[in-house]
Structure 1
Amino acid sequence: MTALWSLGLSLAVPLLSITLLLASLRRYLIPRRSLAQRLRVLARLGYTSPHIRIVGFFHPYCNAGGGGERVLWTALACMQREMKGEAVVFVVYTGDVGHGKASKAEILAKVKSRFDITLSPSTLHFIPLENRWLVEDSTYPRLTLLGQSAGSVLLALEGLIGPEGCVPDVWIDTMGYAFAYPLVKFLCRIPVASYTHYPTISTDMLHRVSSRLSTHTNSTLIASSRALSALKLAYYVVFARVYSWSLRKAGVVWVNSSWTRGHVEGLVGVQREEEELEGEVLLDGGEEPSTTKLRQRRKLTKEETPTPSSAPSRTPNRPTSAPRIRLLYPPCDTLHLSSLPHSTSSRIGSSDPIIIFSLAQFRPEKEHPTQLRALASLFSSSTLSPTLKERVKLVCAGSVRNEADAKRVEALRALASELGVQEKIEFVVNAEYGQICEWMGRASVGLHTMVDEHFGITVVEFQAAGLIPLAHATAGPLLDILLPSPSGTPTGFLAPSTSSPSSSTSSLSEAFAAQLEYIVSLPTDEQDKIREAARSNAQERFSVRRFEEGWMSGWREVVGGKEGW
């Protein structure tokens, strides 16, 4: 009994201390610092009145150059344009500015170079986050999710009350650090919104741990131990409950795909009506739709199509504390990419290389090693003609964020040499937007191997650019992007079959190799039909215009539809 009393006391003291600290911050420090911070930020933008509204975007890695950053900059550019003339400015909380880092001008130049997006510097300010290491996975070799989530709370606090901090009038998180929402809501009493690319934890992750499957998020050591797997599962369950509680503090949560929406709705307790499911997709040339049964295609409601940003009009049994969840596909460069050569003959001459093009940041989850092994497996195929073997080439393009990513590229080079395909692979690192477009105009196939890619902007860009996409048969590519056209023509291909999404490395590589062989062996006229159907799909469903319409619709919900809010 004494031991229990001591344990309870030891837990109560720090909890009480934290509670008192937060109460003090809310009552005294935040109000005192808020006006001074606001005036300082506004003065740097040339404003003297404190009555200018500030919209804050929390995006610690704003200069990374990935799909998440395209969402941030497209949303910002849209708001600058649509709210021009209003008394509003924008701040971005990021670790990419500060001592010895990028300047504001350099970041805006990269946004223009990488995404062809122009931002006005006159209403945009960057707030440095000197302690971004708090959310880096390398900081936490163990309990990484917990460490990063706790770190995001401290990082948000730095953005609010740090030396260069500022309390905004609206807090928009475009990276998915949901654990910071309760803090922002409690301390600042401002609206909170989120664009969630993927849930920090999902039922898929729970399933992999409970099934003891080894992946890059579940080490072989844990997967091979029943006791460690049980312990990690308990940790995940508790983590998921705290995460769902944090998500509920947002007023509006934009989600980027059907897969993400399903997980988020489950986490926050929103129950949707059963929707009619229909349709299937062709996996490869040797299977009939009736035997593949890859996917059930959801019948879209009027509210979801043709404008994916609009939310369903009914969300039954929505708890009063749950956020409004809005499906909003990420903005994709369909307009410019659609001007690239369309037909197979116009992009590939009779003696030109047949380029398989990969575009993804060099991060572990992008599964670049699978691409290299698939290429090696393709070249070992006895059914691929010698002529095609001679012409096929893999180009891996992507951005490198830090030293860890750079080392990952070197490891891939070493793997290519080990597999004997180094002469058939080219790595393109940190290329500018124009270079990427040039590669897309020459490539034939777009390859994306990430498992559970929440959406997959790159896959849509492949479609718009006239490539034939090949992606893993999970999440966004499966449910949202690579749907057959109304006429039944494929808009891309998937590997492997959905009956085995967690295949071993060897079989997964072989599945991709089989699909690659099928695609490059297709007659030119069949390839052209697929390219045309793919481009139409991208143009009709994933344009920047549709994203901007959905973003501004959601924004009006964030501020309650108030003029001048």
Structure 2
Amino acid sequence: MYVAALVFGILIAAVWLGSIFIGRRKKEYAVGFFHPYTNDGGGGERVLWCAVRAIQAEDPDLACIIYTGDDATPQSLASRAHRQFGVKLNSLPKVMRLHRRHWVESRTYPFLTLLGQSLGSMVLGMEALMQFTPLIFIDTSGYAFTYPIACLLGCKVVSYTHYPTISSDMVAKVLSRRAAFNNNLVIARSCFLSILKAIYYQILMISYGLAGRCVHLAMVNSSWTKSHIEKIWGIHDRIKLVYPPCDTRTLQELPLERNSTSIYFISVAQFRPEKAHGMQLEAFANLLNRLNKGNNSDPVRSGNIRLKLVGSCRNEEDKGRVVNLKQRCSELGIADKVDFLINVSYRELVELLGAATAGIHSMIDEHFGIVVVEYMAAGAIPIAHNSAGPKMDIVVEQSAGKVGFLATSVDEFASAMMEVINMSMEKRMEMASLARERAKLFSETQFDQDFKAAMSKILAEIRSSHKENVCT
């Protein structure tokens, strides 16, 4: 702990001395949204645009600044928000281009990746705040090591945390010596290397906690994330649970009926390793093997069933993962039954969800799981991993019955898919109806209300301060 505190203290001292050298910058009447990747197409980007819209509605005079590493304009970002997520901004945001985004990319750090990205985010945060220093600095991407910088420069610091950068769960997984996408086989097989990595994680977690304590308000997206952030940051009185915005309004207008002779399962997720697309492919192959052993007179069992993987590719690494997944389909003998739909428009996504029989989401410890809610709102039976957000907040059995399925292994996912196929139309409609009703708890309207309520005190403080400054 002392080592972590010393390292973190040296970094903050350097930032503090830098801020003195540069000078105490004048803060503009604006809110700065730190979101280096404004084209990631995920739930985090939806949060960004809904948050911008909420701020614009609360105070039209408060400028909204977007710090992004993408080559974007105010017009292109506003157009993307509407086209990709159905979010219409009240006015155009201002754009501050970040040229050092590579400092937070994992490929920049082949070793000690989390540490490198954390320190790199401080460089990127300094670049952002030296270009433009707002009264309120809102991080919507989880770069906690930027908070001390913003705080030292006099900003009100707000975070919307989707997922803790480092947690005790990660330490436990390393000590259990389980190989995973973030714990390679070489380390997992070595007791010494596992202990060394656990110590490294522990030091990083303490530093992360110290950075988190610099926020004036921390919004979290799920009960699971809230429990971790409370434990690591130790700021119980400054944490608010604000469920992320899900497009339940548009999706709930879709009919619940589905084509019983042409069934497909849909998976909506960015093509990132933690989304566990490989598990979905194996589960689907398992399902087809079971169906092939059954009654081939059934149109479903005669091969009229598909899996559609829908997602965005952020970079060349993501594109490479798609190539590898297609190769895996060939190895499993299911290449002719799996569709890859990359970077589809919002309208296309709605159409795909509206015809899907069920939706699959297999990420372990998914912090919340916006797409699981979207499945439910669209009438697609959710099949999600039995952990974190889906387990604690979303796919929760109601007094009237189940709203979906939770699974852990390939076999369990395949069994859930089989159960959905074998459901009568009446049973499936009943479950889909219950799921749709629960999805209303996670609407954009609810996010808007909760976000504004959480921000009300800080917005009132800066309005008051701004009026005093104008008067003087």
Common fold by TM > 0.5: yes
Q: Match of 2:163?
A: 198
Separation of aligned partners in 1, 2:463 and 2:12:
36
Whether contact under 8 Å (1:255, 1:327) holds in the other structure is yes
158, 163, 168: which one aligns with 2:134: 168
Whether contact under 8 Å (2:213, 2:234) holds in the other structure is no
C-alpha displacement of 1:463? 0.3
Deviates more, 1:447-456 or 1:102-111: 102-111
265, 268, 286: which one aligns with 1:356: 265
**Cα–Cα, structure 1 residues 24 and 451, in superposed 2: closer, same or farther, change >3 Å?**
closer
Separation of aligned partners in 2, 1:448 and 1:557:
37
Letter in 1 for 2:48: L
444, 464, 467: which one aligns with 1:544: 444
Check if 1:458 corresponds to 2:451: no
Check if 1:71 corresponds to 2:47: yes
Letter in 2 for 1:538: A
C-alpha displacement of 1:20? 7.1
C-alpha displacement of 1:139? 0.9
Separation of aligned partners in 2, 1:471 and 1:18:
40
C-alpha displacement of 1:54? 1.0
Q: Report matched runs for 1:140-179 at 5 Å.
A: 140-161=109-130, 165-179=131-145
C-alpha displacement of 1:563? 4.2
C-alpha displacement of 1:381? 1.3
Whether contact under 8 Å (1:192, 1:251) holds in the other structure is yes
Letter in 2 for 1:491: V
Structure 2 counterpart SS, 1:446: strand
Deviations 1:514-535 (A, max 9, x none): 1111111111111011000000
**Cα–Cα, structure 1 residues 490 and 404, in superposed 2: closer, same or farther, change >3 Å?**
same
C-alpha displacement of 1:269? 2.9
Structure 1 counterpart SS, 2:406: strand
Check if 1:133 corresponds to 2:102: yes
Separation of aligned partners in 2, 1:246 and 1:215:
27
C-alpha displacement of 1:26? 2.7
Q: Report matched runs for 1:173-252 at 5 Å.
A: 173-186=139-152, 188-252=153-217
Q: Report matched runs for 1:297-446 at 5 Å.
A: 324-343=238-257, 347-348=258-259, 350-351=260-261, 353-381=262-290, 384-386=294-296, 387=298, 388-389=300-301, 390-446=303-359
Separation of aligned partners in 1, 2:464 and 2:51:
19
The TM-score, its normalising length taken from structure 2, stands at: 0.93
Letter in 1 for 2:431: I
C-alpha displacement of 1:483? 0.8
**Cα–Cα, structure 1 residues 221 and 251, in superposed 2: closer, same or farther, change >3 Å?**
same
**Cα–Cα, structure 1 residues 384 and 174, in superposed 2: closer, same or farther, change >3 Å?**
farther
Whether contact under 8 Å (1:252, 1:557) holds in the other structure is no
Letter in 2 for 1:114: Q
Separation of aligned partners in 2, 1:20 and 1:80:
35
Letter in 2 for 1:167: T
Structure 2 counterpart SS, 1:214: coil
Separation of aligned partners in 2, 1:132 and 1:30:
24
Structure 1 counterpart SS, 2:290: coil
**Cα–Cα, structure 1 residues 22 and 412, in superposed 2: closer, same or farther, change >3 Å?**
closer
Q: Match of 2:405?
A: 493
Letter in 2 for 1:479: M
Letter in 2 for 1:510: D
24, 27, 51: which one aligns with 2:20: 27
Check if 1:529 corresponds to 2:430: yes
The TM-score, its normalising length taken from structure 1, stands at: 0.78
Whether contact under 8 Å (1:114, 1:432) holds in the other structure is yes
Q: Match of 1:113?
A: 83
Q: Report matched runs for 1:253-264 at 5 Å.
A: 253-264=218-229
The structure with more radius of gyration: 1
Whether contact under 8 Å (1:255, 1:328) holds in the other structure is yes
Structure 1 counterpart SS, 2:23: helix
Q: Match of 2:234?
A: 269
Whether contact under 8 Å (1:193, 1:558) holds in the other structure is no
Check if 1:517 corresponds to 2:418: yes
**Cα–Cα, structure 1 residues 384 and 340, in superposed 2: closer, same or farther, change >3 Å?**
farther
C-alpha displacement of 1:226? 0.2
**Cα–Cα, structure 1 residues 231 and 180, in superposed 2: closer, same or farther, change >3 Å?**
same
**Cα–Cα, structure 1 residues 520 and 16, in superposed 2: closer, same or farther, change >3 Å?**
closer
**Cα–Cα, structure 1 residues 414 and 22, in superposed 2: closer, same or farther, change >3 Å?**
closer
C-alpha displacement of 1:21? 5.2
C-alpha displacement of 1:554? 1.2
**Cα–Cα, structure 1 residues 405 and 25, in superposed 2: closer, same or farther, change >3 Å?**
same
Structure 2 counterpart SS, 1:194: strand
Separation of aligned partners in 2, 1:17 and 1:457:
38
Structure 2 counterpart SS, 1:60: coil
Whether contact under 8 Å (2:283, 2:410) holds in the other structure is yes
Letter in 1 for 2:264: I
Separation of aligned partners in 1, 2:350 and 2:155:
41
**Cα–Cα, structure 1 residues 191 and 491, in superposed 2: closer, same or farther, change >3 Å?**
same
Structure 2 counterpart SS, 1:96: coil
C-alpha displacement of 1:205? 0.6
Separation of aligned partners in 1, 2:385 and 2:295:
25
Check if 1:91 corresponds to 2:84: no
Deviations 1:133-191 (A, max 9, x none): 00011111111110100000000001112xxx1111111100111111112212x1221
How many positions carry a matched residue from both structures?
457
C-alpha displacement of 1:82? 2.4
C-alpha displacement of 1:23? 4.3
Separation of aligned partners in 1, 2:462 and 2:65:
21
Structure 1 counterpart SS, 2:309: strand
**Cα–Cα, structure 1 residues 181 and 385, in superposed 2: closer, same or farther, change >3 Å?**
farther
C-alpha displacement of 1:486? 2.9
Deviations 1:316-340 (A, max 9, x none): xx5xxxx611111000001100011
Structure 2 counterpart SS, 1:195: strand
Task: Report the RMSD for the aligned CA atoms in angstroms.
Answer: 2.0
56, 59, 75: which one aligns with 1:80: 56
Check if 1:477 corresponds to 2:390: yes
Deviations 1:286-321 (A, max 9, x none): xxxxxxxxxxxxxxxxxxxxxxxxxxxxxxxx5xxx
